[in-house]
């Protein structure tokens, strides 16, 4: 039976595959698990993969790209983030796998973006055989600039989310460390009071008995 996060991931993958050639999603990778995504590509089609671990453990994950003939195009072990560009060697389904099998208790939150083929032009631009007008050229340049801005904003959001998660983890560790120190100080103070009290307490001696 599919879990809710897995169904959400599959749904997002299908929607992105139907509407465009770009897949961009964030998914949870359980401990000791592997998640694979499939993308149909034609031969000689250019593609690029970019990923980053947002939270979990040491912020690392193993990644592999496999061709339809099971040839390994790209493989990295315990990476925090990376990007890779490649060209399809043959037509078929390409597999991108993210593995967290080396971790026994740390869940990972992973961001992935897979772009296949050239960027889609603006609607209406390029539909006619005449030379582009100045307005069309400017619109196309603005379109490309906006796409670059979106990419930069995505990267900054990912870095901000990763930094916030690290800060929260550090704050939690400092909090529990402070609680431990406070408890140790209380225990030491209580022990010292009991020892001093024992020193000054009146005990019956042989002289007092006589």
Whether 16 shows a pLDDT value over 70: the answer reads no
How many domains is the chain partitioned into structurally? 2
Same domain, 199 and 131: yes
For residue 181, with 0-12 CB atoms within 10 Å meaning exposed, 13-18 middle and 19 or more buried, which class applies?
Answer: exposed
Instruction: Return the higher-pLDDT residue of 208 and 96.
Output: 96
Sequence-ordered list of residues with C-beta below 8 angstroms from that of 48, at least 6 positions apart, any chain: 83, 84, 85, 86, 114, 115
Whether 8 shows a pLDDT value over 50: the answer reads no
Same domain, 143 and 107: no
Residue pair 20/83 in contact by the 8 Å Cβ criterion: no
The set of long-range contacts for 7-14, using a CB threshold of 8 Å and a minimum separation of 24, is 9/35, 13/37
Instruction: Return the higher-pLDDT residue of 205 and 96.
Output: 96
pLDDT score, position 67: 92
- Domain-ending residue, one of 120, 148, 179: 120
- Domain-ending residue, one of 120, 137, 152: 120
Mean pLDDT of 19-32: 78
Q: In what order do the strands lie in the sheet with 92-99?
A: 34-41, 92-99, 61-66, 72-79
Same domain, 111 and 127: no
Same domain, 102 and 181: no
Q: Dump pLDDT digits (tens) for 128-171.
A: 555 567 777 777 778 778 877 877 777 777 778 777 777 888 88
Same domain, 125 and 136: yes
* Look-up of token digits 């389904």: 93
Which residue from 37, 107, 104, 29 is spatially nearest to 65, judged by alpha carbons? 37
pLDDT score, position 38: 92
- Domain-ending residue, one of 81, 103, 120: 120
Q: What CATH number did the domain enclosing 104 receive? A: 2.60.120.380
pTM more than 0.75: no
Same domain, 133 and 210: yes
**Domain residue limits at 15:** 4-120
The DSSP code for 121 is: P
At 187, the pLDDT band (50, 70, 90 cuts) reads very high
* Look-up of token digits 């099971």: 70
pLDDT score, position 68: 92
Whether 26 shows a pLDDT value over 90: the answer reads no
Instruction: Return the higher-pLDDT residue of 145 and 9.
Output: 145
Same domain, 94 and 64: yes
What is each CA distance from 114 to 21, 100, 122, 128, 129, in whole angstroms? Answer: 8, 20, 20, 30, 32
Same domain, 129 and 89: no
Same domain, 78 and 172: no
Q: Dump pLDDT digits (tens) for 60-113.
A: 899 999 999 999 999 999 998 888 999 998 999 999 999 998 888 888 889 888
Whether 14 shows a pLDDT value over 50: the answer reads no
Same domain, 156 and 64: no
Same domain, 51 and 13: yes
Same domain, 77 and 180: no
- Cα of first residue to Cα of last residue in the chain, in angstroms, is 87
- CA angle 122–10–20, rounded 5-degree value: 10
Burial 2-27 (b: 16+ CB within 10 A, else e): eeeeeeebeeebeebbeeebebebeb
Residue pair 26/111 in contact by the 8 Å Cβ criterion: yes
């Amino acid at each position: 039976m599919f879990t809710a996060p897995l169904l959400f991931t599959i749904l997002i993958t299908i929607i992105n595959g139907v509407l465009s050639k770009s897949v961009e999603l964030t998914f949870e990778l359980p401990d000791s698990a592997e998640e694979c995504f499939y993308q149909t590509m034609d031969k000689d089609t250019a593609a690029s993969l970019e990923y980053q671990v947002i939270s979990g453990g040491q912020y690392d994950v193993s990644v592999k790209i496999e061709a339809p003939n099971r040839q390994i195009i790209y493989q990295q072990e315990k990476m925090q983030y990376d990007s890779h560009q490649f060209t399809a060697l043959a037509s078929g389904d390409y597999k991108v796998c993210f593995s967290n099998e080396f971790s026994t208790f740390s869940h990972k939150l992973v961001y992935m973006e897979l772009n296949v083929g050239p960027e889609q032009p603006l609607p209406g631009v390029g539909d006619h055989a005449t030379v582009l007008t100045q307005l069309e050229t400017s619109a196309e340049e603005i379109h490309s600039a906006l796409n670059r801005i979106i990419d930069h904003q995505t990267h900054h959001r990912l870095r901000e989310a990763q930094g916030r998660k690290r800060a929260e983890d550090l704050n939690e560790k400092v909090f529990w460390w402070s609680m431990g120190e406070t408890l140790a100080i209380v225990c030491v103070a209580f022990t010292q009071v009991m020892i001093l009290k024992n020193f000054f307490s009146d005990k019956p001696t042989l002289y007092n008995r006589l």
